[in-house]
Amino acid sequence: MSGRLASITAGLPRTYWLLWVGTLINRLGGFVVPFLTLYLTQQRGLPVSQAALMVSLFGAGSFTAALIGGELTDRIGRRPVMLLSFLLAPVTMVALGVVQPLAFLAPLVYLQGFLTDLYRPAVSAMIADLLPAAERPRAFGYLYWAINLGFAAAPILAGLMARIDYMLLFIGDALTTLVFGLIVFFGVPESRPMEAHAAARSSLRQRIQQVRNVPLMLFFAGLALGAGLIYMQGHVTLPVDMASHGLGPEQYGLAIAVNGLLIVLVSLPVSNLAVRWRRFSAMAASAVFLAFGFGLTGLADTLLLFGLAVAVWTVGEIISATLSPAIVADLSPIDLRGLFQGVYGASWGLAAFLGPLLGGWIYQNLGPQALWFGCFGLGLLLAAGYLALGKRAGMSTERASGAEARAAPGG
């Protein structure tokens, strides 16, 4: 047992493990986002389309946070951005559960999305700072495991807490975020390399142009946007569809907990194996799993079938979450690590904004079958896109590109 633990922790520094523990605690309290649609429809009485619009504002805040957080990460450092996020987000989270007028609720949802995700580019950039390219898939995979170890328990706890009082979700979420902030404040030192200090003096226009000079990164972010549009339906329209089949918040909590439990069981070995995989071929496989998982949702009418559908698309999520941030980190110049992670994160933030709008509109106007089978078709298109991108990049038969090799010394 001790030997296995040593093999897991080998090569990963103390600072990384502090980020890992903080992430686990934060995700154990990730109550609000998975249940926000149910809160708005069942507690606030909003129609599905209006609730989806509110949830999309969270995504809009996340989109803005990714870009601004990425730029701030390079300019002022990783640690200040994390503290800004972790110490302010609890305040807006509690306010979100207290405020009643919709005129105030909408901007609060946006601000919560911004502050909740502001730290993400900083954490990813710090991991890239701390580790060489060869270790990054493992490190990002372990971090993703921590996220979902918490997420496996959070929906079940949240479903029970929602039966008592939805306000408990907001308070619990705020407290666990604050704990992560205290871990960073007392234990995590700054990791920004000296090269990033010097490059931070360049203008934003120059830095944006540097991003444009890496079309592979932009194409990769575009494919991530498509995957995010599909994935968002698991948190927005899936609970509504399950409710239409007579399955309430507790059943949704159990179904979505399959996602976290499966990740807890298999993502560690996947993380250790990922360094051997052909990167874009594996990403194509992840898109196929995503397609079939959400396509199966269109055939589901029982808790068992909904849980099976979640399990299928979870396999695709595990592969993607292990490789995607590592690919971005390896493509990033040292002075643009934060901004590149921000661009990638912005694609998911944009998906979090557009996904509820598109999914809610399709579900309400065209019906659930159109939504789920549309996700199936889009997933297959994404798989073809990853294969084409891999062929263009010359990485479909390689585990490391020249860009990765150049990035390694900066780790």
Q: Is the pLDDT of residue 216 over 50?
A: yes
**Residue 36 domain-assigned (yes or no):** yes
pLDDT band for position 182 (cuts 50, 70, 90) = very high
Note the pLDDT of residue 405: 38
Could you tell me what percent of the chain has a pLDDT over 90?
A: 31
Read off the tokens for 349.
Answer: 């933030």
In-domain check, residue 357: yes
The better pLDDT of the pair 404, 207 is held by 207
CA–CA distances in Å: residue 309 to residues 250, 321, 325: 17, 18, 25
What's the whole-number average pLDDT of the chain? 82
| Residue 9, pLDDT score | 65
Q: Which amino acid is at 121?
A: P
Residue 404: inside a domain: no
- What CATH number is attached to the domain comprising 388? 1.20.1250.20
401 in a structural domain: no
Q: What is the mean pLDDT of residues 130-134?
A: 85
DSSP class of residue 99 equals: -
pLDDT at 411: 32
Is a pLDDT exceeding 90 seen at residue 244? Answer: no
Model confidence at 190, pLDDT cuts 50, 70, 90, reads: very high
Instruction: State the pLDDT at residue 406.
Output: 39
303: in domain: yes
Q: For residue range 332-376, what is the model confidence (pLDDT) as tens digits?
A: 877 788 888 888 888 887 887 788 888 888 988 898 999 999 999
Angstrom distance (rounded) from CA 310 to CA 232? 12
Each residue of 305-330: pLDDT tens digit? 999 999 999 989 988 888 888 888 87
Let me know if residue 10 belongs to a domain. Answer: no
pLDDT value at position 198?
63
Residue 268 pLDDT > 80 = no
Worst-scoring range by mean pLDDT, 8-12, 78-82, 88-92, 293-297?
8-12
What mean pLDDT do residues 179-203 have? Answer: 83
For residue 301, give the nearest of 243, 227, 254 by alpha carbon.
243
197 within a domain of the structure (yes/no): yes
Tell me how far apart the alpha carbons of residues 112 and 177 are, in angstroms, rounded to a whole number: 12
Per-residue pLDDT, 127: 93
Q: What is the pLDDT of residues 58-99, one digit of tens each?
A: 878 888 888 899 889 988 899 999 999 999 999 999 998 888
Residue 375: how many CB atoms within 10 A of its CB?
Answer: 26
DSSP state of 161: H
Q: Other CB atoms closer than 10 Å to residue 303's CB: what's the count?
A: 17
Rounded mean pLDDT of 37-46?
76
Domain count, the chain: 1
102 Cβ contact partners less than 8 Å away, ≥ 6 residues apart: none
Q: How confident is the model at residue 275 (pLDDT cuts 50, 70, 90)?
A: low
Q: Say whether pLDDT at 262 is over 90.
A: no
pLDDT of 21 > 60? The answer is yes
- pLDDT of the residue at 141: 85
Angle at 178 between CA 19 and CA 271, to 5 degrees: 25
Of the two residues 46 and 105, the one the predictor is more confident about is 105
Segments forming the whole domain that contains residue 164: 15-396
User: What is the pTM for the complete model shown?
Assistant: 0.76
**What is the pLDDT at residue 22?**
95
Which residues have a Cβ under 8 Å from the Cβ of 63 and sit 6 or more positions away? 346, 349, 350, 352, 353
Report if residue 407 sits inside a domain: no
Residue 409 clears pLDDT 50, i.e. is over it:
no
